[in-house]
Amino acid sequence: MGAKKSGPGRRLRLLFIIGMLAFFAGGGERATALTRSEKNTIRVFQQVSAGVVNVTSTSIERDFFFNPVPTEGSGSGVVIDNGGHIVTSFHVVRDSSHLEVTLADGSRWKARLVGSSPRNDLAVIKIDASKGQLKPLPLGSSKRLYVGQKVLAVGNPFGLGQTLTTGTISSVGRDIRINEDVVIRGVIQSDAAINPGNSGGPLINSDGEVVGINTAIFSPTGTSVGISFAIPSDTVRNILPGLVSIWPKLLSWIIAVILVGSFIWWFWRRLQPRDMRH
């Protein structure tokens, strides 16, 4: 009789142990489950990271004895087309004698400056990488940004490439002074952690679109305190043709020369006596 009673007992204990194991296994899965926002962040980073590059600039300074001393700085950039054009911050490449770009695959390329807009702190550089190595990122619209909207910043802070930080839009339409002579108007303020080296990198929305180019931080210590600024993507889109190609600038000069010449001719004709106009 004792043997018959022990059988069901062993089965109950076995079922209890299996149930507990299943419970803890299920709890572990729930503990590591990703939220919708986390999944979106991971997806967007995987989608855009290949289009973000590291920019290294070398400038020549003089020591006390006027000997040339190379000084190296670093920043970030965004691939904008398959021709090798990259948008970055003007202050990253300013006064540089040598530029080098490191792609996400680790390859390094010599770069050259093709256009700049100091008053918008924007510049375009170019590398001769093959089309297959370039991952252009789409420009979104900065007009449809809302305070509280999630944004991601990808860049090269302190030389640590492919770094992601997240935050929200804190304000839009800000005016910031980046030096004594330049005030940039209508910039985006966010609380995404931006540090030296992030300049020129993209501010990304949840759809993987570039909505801004990170340009500056507000900090008494030089490191992130949760206030960063980005040039709106609409500003980038408006001035980009003139930075990438010389033809818009040339056409503008030609039109300006024609208009000025026409005005001078008209004014000269008005100064002539009436009987000499024919």
Which DSSP category does 139 fall into? B
Say how far apart CA 206 and CA 232 lie, in whole Å. 16
Q: Is the Cβ–Cβ distance between 69 and 62 less than 8 Å?
A: yes
278 part of the active site? no
Tell the residue number behind the tokens 């020549």, with chain if given. 60
Q: Which of 199, 224, 228, 233 is catalytic?
A: 199
Q: Which of 57, 91, 142, 228 is catalytic?
A: 91
121 part of the active site? yes
Q: Which of 57, 76, 121, 233 is catalytic?
A: 121
Q: CB burial class (10 A; 0-12, 13-18, 19+) of residue 130?
A: exposed
Pair of tokens at residue 141: 């619209």
DSSP output for 153-217: EEE-GGG--SEEEEEEEEEEEEEEESSSS-EEEEEEEE-S---TT-TTPEEE-TTS-EEEEEEEE
> Which of these, 169, 178, 43, lies nearest to 119 by C-alpha position?
178
Pair of tokens at residue 216: 């500056």
234 part of the active site? no
| Element housing 138 (H / E) | none
Which residues are CB-contacts of 171 (< 8 A; sequence separation ≥ 6)?
147, 188, 189
Length of the chain: 278
Catalytically active residues, by annotation: 91, 121, 199
